[in-house]
Amino acid sequence: MFTRQITKIKVLLTLVTTMCVFCVAFFSIAYAEKVSLRIIAGHQADWPAEISNMALNRLIKNHPEIDLSVEVERFPYGALRQVFLSRVAAGDVPDVATIDPIWVADFAKVGGLADITEEVKRWGQLDDFIDAYVEEEGCLYNGRLVSLPYAGDTRLFYWNKNLFAKAGLDPDQPPQTWNGMVAIAKLLNNPPDINGVAIQGCMDENTAFHWYTLVWQQGGEIIAEKNGGYAPAFNSPEGVKALQAYVDLVHKHGITPRQVITQAPPDLEREFFSGHYAMALFGSWSLSTGKGMGMSNDELRDKFGAAFVPLITRNSEFTSGCGSFNYAVMEKAKHPDLAWELVSILSSRDIQRQFAKFAFQLPVRKSLLAEKQEFVKAIPFFEVFAEILPHAHMQPCMAGYPEVSELIQTAIQKALLQKASPKEALVEASRRAKEILAE
């Protein structure tokens, strides 16, 4: 009898315990803390849903106790910087943002970016990131980490193999020198159907950044350290020669149309991949435009080639510009711990691998860059990008650089429009840049 009572009591206690667990679980779900992470990002390539959702789902799985939602606001690249600065000034900041490294110093200066140095140390994966991306000012402010790179890129030279072959040229042999490029462009130039060389000339950061390659080839500098600060260095013989080379493409050789001054980069890329330009100075990311036009990886490899930008002088050295886009946690993020956790997930090897393949970008981790065969299959000309990267320079990233870049872009446009000589345009830009960098 006692045994039966004890058994009944045990069963009853088990039922009560089960019901309690069920109730706790039910009410935990029903009344879970509601958290909304706010994110500011650029266009689709900066925050692709196909990739970001993988990271977000992992974050949600890590926190079943939270009713987590994510609000993503997208802005065009040209508006993203001003949106960020305005939000910081108004105290209306997101938790996470995707930012260009050239904005890091200015954003950190106004208190917009959180110091994530200690979090990254505990994470223990920084050593796997390519040194050029994390040791430069594009990730650091006053020696502290305030952002992490997630997409690498480089600038290079493309050519249309079919047009080369039709003219009797070796479709697999690009010109090695600027003069060689000009000679081939003259041979293939047949406007308005086919133009010789596409260069970017609109008001855009990459208009300046592409031009830097020609300056760096000659051993020149854009901004130099001076007396404990910074001073413009682009108004130099190297800078003048580089800008004159641009001007000559339009006005002396007639192989680049004036319309490049007003064309948006994606429009110029579409014209090249449509066969309206024989050659072009573009970025590694430009292949995504061809992909968006319906071209397969094999088509891109068969129809086009990629290489170092031709040397502006025979004594020059092959080089390029490399850049990235970064994740950052905001200084006044409402949910800083979750924000950092999301950034760490987005920066993980598997997510980085998928993102690089999706966006035709260079991986920013050493271990991924070493997976050459996998990326060669997924990204046309990956082997060329990887070859260029060790010889590439990051653009300047100190405070005030975005304004200096705009001055350089304006100088390039003035010279291309023949409103000033290359020397005159660079002198004026340098004078004003000196004032900005001294502030």
CA angle (214, 426, 106) in 5-degree steps: 85
Q: Where in the chain is the domain with CATH 3.40.190.10?
A: 33-153+323-394, 155-321+397-438
pLDDT (0 to 100) of residue 390: 87
pLDDT (0 to 100) of residue 57: 92
pLDDT (0 to 100) of residue 135: 73
pLDDT (0 to 100) of residue 31: 45
| Residues 201, 213 contacting (CB under 8 angstroms) | no
**Looking at the DSSP assignment, which residues form a beta bridge with residue 156?**
282
State whether CATH 3.40.50.1580 applies to domain 155-321+397-438.
no
- 155: which 2 tokens? 């600038």
Q: Which residue matches tokens 């592409």?
A: 210
The fold of 33-153+323-394 is D-Maltodextrin-Binding Protein; domain 2 (3.40.190)
- CA of residue 81 relative to chain centroid, distance: 14
pLDDT (0 to 100) of residue 264: 93
pLDDT (0 to 100) of residue 78: 84
- In this prediction the pTM is 0.88
pLDDT (0 to 100) of residue 361: 85
pLDDT (0 to 100) of residue 123: 97
| Residues 338, 59 contacting (CB under 8 angstroms) | yes
For the chain, which residues score pLDDT lower than 70?
A: 1-32, 44-46, 136
pLDDT (0 to 100) of residue 344: 97
In whole angstroms, give the CA distance from residue 123 to residue 33: 26
pLDDT (0 to 100) of residue 439: 83
In whole angstroms, give the CA distance from residue 183 to residue 205: 28
The tally of CA atoms less than 13 A away on the side-chain side of residue 430 is 18
In whole angstroms, give the CA distance from residue 283 to residue 269: 10
pLDDT (0 to 100) of residue 44: 59
C-alpha closest to that of 385 among 317, 311, 283 = 283
pLDDT (0 to 100) of residue 224: 96
> What is the share, in percent, of the chain residues with pLDDT greater than 70?
92
pLDDT (0 to 100) of residue 367: 94
| Residues 386, 378 contacting (CB under 8 angstroms) | no
pLDDT (0 to 100) of residue 359: 82
C-alpha closest to that of 308 among 389, 218, 375, 221 = 389
What does DSSP assign to residue 177? B
